[in-house]
Amino acid sequence: MAGQQWDIFCRVVDNYGDAGVCWRLARALAARGQTVRLMIDDATPLSWMAPRGAPGVQVLPWPGPSEADEADEAGDVVIEAFGCDPPEAFVAQMAARALPPVWINLEYLSAEGYVERSHRLPSPQRNGLTKWFFFPGFTAGTGGLLRDSSVPADFNRVAWLTEHDLAPREGERVVSLFCYENPALPALLQSLAASPTLLLLTPGYAQVQVGSAPPGVRLATLPWQDQEGFDHLLAACDINFVRGEDSLVRAIWAGAPMVWQAYPQQDGAHFAKVQALLAQWSAPPDVARLWQAWNGWPEMAWPGLPDRRPWAAAQQTWRTRLLAQDDLATQLIAFASGKARSQG
């Protein structure tokens, strides 16, 4: 589908993850020869995520192109990210095309069993169009993960940290913290204090919650990073604590030991998401206990930090397995191309 027009609709709900995923997808599609319009209701996060933009990607405010725009016809492929519902006027344009666009609802990332069952299912619409559900995921029966090469093979972590005035001292490990509100933070700080640690605090909840640290933990506050800078940050650290969808995937590609915090939900629905992900990559038992405690498992004592060597080995094994699968952008292009041929 070289040179096809892709329209991505995105609503920024909270925490910037929606914008982050949609921008990475737009950039990945454009890098594969597609032309992309990203319609987003709040482009503010892109000012620091992607300050230089990307060739082949046009950012438009929601609801998208105006009627006066000569290029206002719906694209060949329309992606609504996370069930955001494209504007009715635009859907009407989709239905008016001689060859209807391939309409894809890109869902949230999960390791739960319903993902494989629901991936690529059609949803016929009243206007005659069909919406297809597309699920990213961690297995061959899913749509795969977003992947690019923003971290070069010869990346020098010490040089990057030094360039950003974050050089570790002799014998000091480097740990990044990107989190939601988390009552387990005091326990984590005490565990980190057992070995000399430089703790890098990302903007937001991490910096708000960690005002001081015990002896043995040196704090450094970070500014907002663009996406390439964030990828480099994760690649430069010995351990990464991350949250949400986009940062989970980036931490996997970074390859260092990691701990993921799911978005906390009052009904405990996030426990199932964490447990499914742990089971999917066969996490070592001590790593699984750490993830569970970090995610607020009921009545669970803080387990401390696992031995880093087997933790790192398990992380690398998982990463290698995921790298063998086709990435999300590649799968989307193949899927859309197949549906377009069948419609034509």
pLDDT tens-digit map of 131-146: 999 999 999 999 999 9
What residue ranges define each of the domains in the chain, with the CATH number in brackets? 5-145+326-343 (3.40.50), 157-323 (3.40.50.2000)
Average confidence score pLDDT of the chain: 94
C-alpha dihedral sign at 36, 42, 47, 50: negative
18 is catalytic: yes
Q: How far apart are CA 9 and CA 83, in angstroms?
A: 9
CB 143 within 8 A of CB 153: no
SS3 286: helix
What confidence tens digit (pLDDT) does each residue in 187-219 have? 999 999 999 999 999 999 999 999 999 999 999
Pairing mode of beta strands 258-261, 102-106: unpaired
- 165 in catalytic set: no
Phi, psi of 130 (to 5 degrees): -125, 130
Judge contact between 89 and 95, C-beta under 8 A: no
Q: Out of 7, 80, 231, 245, which one is annotated catalytic?
A: 245
Partner residues linked to 122 by β-bridges? 132
**Alpha helices, DSSP H, located in the chain:** 17-31, 46-49, 88-96, 114-118, 157-163, 185-192, 205-209, 227-236, 244-254, 269-280, 285-294, 308-323, 328-343
Q: What is the pTM of this model?
A: 0.94
Q: Would you say residue 67 has pLDDT above 60?
A: no
In the sheet where 77-81 sits, what is the strand order? Answer: 57-61, 35-40, 5-10, 77-81, 102-106, 130-134, 122-124
Catalytic site residue from 18, 76, 80, 231: 18
Position 317 confidence tier, pLDDT thresholds 50, 70, 90: very high
Contact 276, 113 (CB under 8 A): yes
pLDDT of residue 26: 98
Provide the 3-class DSSP secondary structure of residue 205.
helix
Q: Say yes or no to pLDDT of 30 above 90.
A: yes
